[in-house]
């Protein structure tokens, strides 16, 4: 049975008018009362019709951005790029941090889409598309950022890394490396699946050992690389591909502490998705796959404003490309 505004009012202990004013910002409501209303909305899973509400109330000139880890400089850099673009067009940005937790993402989607923002940018940590889609109110503008789903019902902007990873593995094989380890992000994410597929195809095409023990998975959070590195070093890897910027920086530091000399004791391919002194210091000792993170954020801002203006336009994918930079070049 569909949850109604009366159900929300009953659970929050307020009138339906107060719920309406809270959602639509049509009259002053105290912070304490707002909190009760939004808590009830999240608990019940109430999703008001976004199209009808926008017609009545007009735009709030605010966009929400749901990200997996606000402390990760990749997402922090992207947020700044999005905010710069939106600010130049008269919009504000609200950030929600999921910490790679699908339940936190669900709560944030429900809260933000219940009247707080005109549209949502989402770097989703969910794997189940049907669950994700069920959270989005009818007609509500959404753009997927960096991470997508196999089902293409929402517009998106992402970065393809297949060719750079494939080329980097082939280059390592050409140098004589035999056991090339791979560290990816969370296995459920579209970005991870693409990067692992590129590695596996290159390994097969180059005639290298196809060993599952050479593939490890971390995440977008801090301190997830070390356990992966310990396991791969036990496998006697002579090269590593680290397909995520934060884990790549942690890898360089960890290998340095262990006494490894990059380019001599072990070859390394890293992702560069934010400015870092580590990248500058070691750029001539490792291959780099450089992400267009500022462009990713700017494009996300552009797409969500387009979606707000034409919510019924067909959904399409915009795919940017990263740059492969072999060491010394």
Q: What is the pLDDT along the chain (329 residues), one digit of tens a residue?
A: 678 888 899 999 999 889 888 877 677 888 889 888 888 888 888 876 654 454 444 678 999 999 999 988 999 999 999 999 999 999 999 999 999 999 999 999 999 998 889 999 999 999 999 999 999 998 899 999 999 999 999 999 999 999 999 999 999 999 999 999 999 999 999 999 999 999 999 999 999 988 999 999 998 777 889 999 999 999 999 999 999 989 999 999 999 999 999 989 999 999 988 766 666 677 788 999 999 999 999 999 999 999 999 888 889 999 999 999 998 65
Domain ranges of the chain: 1-46, 59-159+295-325, 162-290
**In the block, residue with structure tokens 């060491």:** 327
The token duo for 261 is 């000399």
How far is C-alpha 259 from the chain's CA centre? 33
CATH superfamily entry for domain 59-159+295-325: Response regulator (3.40.50.2300)
Asked whether the domain spanning 162-290 has the same topology as the one spanning 59-159+295-325, the reply is: yes
CB proximity list for 212: less than 8 A, separation 6 or greater: none
| Residues 205, 206, 210, 216, Cα dihedral to 10° | -100
Q: Topology of domain 1-46, per CATH?
A: 434 Repressor (Amino-terminal Domain) (1.10.260)
End-to-end CA distance of the chain: 62
Specify the pTM.
0.80
CB proximity list for 252: less than 8 A, separation 6 or greater: 262, 268, 270, 278, 282, 286
Of 41, 57, 36, 55, nearest to 5 by C-alpha is 41
* The CATH number of domain 162-290 is 3.90.180.10: no
Q: How far is 39 from 159, CA to CA, in rounded Å?
A: 35
Give burial (CB, 10 Å; 0-12/13-18/19+) of 207.
Answer: exposed
């Amino acid at each position: 049975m569909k949850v109604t505004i009366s159900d929300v009012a009953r659970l929050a202990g307020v009138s339906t008018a107060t719920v309406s004013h809270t959602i639509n910002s049509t009259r002053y409501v105290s912070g304490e009362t707002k909190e009760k209303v939004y808590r009830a909305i999240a608990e019940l899973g109430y999703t008001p019709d976004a199209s009808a509400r926008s017609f009545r109330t007009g735009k709030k000139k605010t966009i929400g951005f749901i990200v997996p880890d606000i402390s990760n400089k990749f997402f922090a850099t992207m947020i700044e790029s999005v905010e710069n673009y939106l600010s130049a067009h008269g919009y504000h940005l609200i950030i929600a941090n999921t910490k790679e937790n699908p339940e936190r993402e669900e709560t944030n989607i429900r809260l933000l889409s219940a009247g707080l923002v005109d549209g949502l940018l989402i770097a989703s940590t969910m794997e189940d598309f049907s669950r994700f889609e069920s959270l989005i109110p009818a007609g509500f503008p959404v753009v997927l950022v960096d991470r997508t789903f196999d089902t293409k019902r929402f517009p998106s902007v992402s970065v393809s890394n297949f060719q750079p990873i494939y080329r980097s593995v082939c280059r390592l094989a050409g140098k004589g490396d035999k056991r090339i380890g791979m560290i990816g992000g969370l296995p459920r994410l579209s970005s991870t699946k693409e990067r692992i597929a590129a590695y596996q195809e290159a390994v097969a095409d180059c005639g290298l050992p196809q060993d599952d023990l050479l593939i490890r998975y971390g995440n977008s959070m801090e301190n997830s690389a070390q356990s992966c590195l310990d396991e791969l070093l036990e496998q006697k890897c002579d090269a590593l591909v680290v397909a995520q910027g934060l884990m790549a920086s942690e890898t360089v530091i960890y290998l340095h502490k262990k006494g490894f000399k990059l380019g001599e004791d072990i070859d390394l391919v890293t992702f560069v998705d934010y400015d870092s002194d580590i990248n500058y210091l070691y750029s001539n000792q490792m291959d780099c796959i450089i992400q267009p993170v500022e462009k990713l954020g700017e494009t996300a801002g552009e797409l969500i404003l387009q979606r707000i203006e034409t919510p019924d336009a067909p959904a399409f994918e915009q795919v940017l490309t990263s740059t492969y930079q072999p060491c010394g070049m």
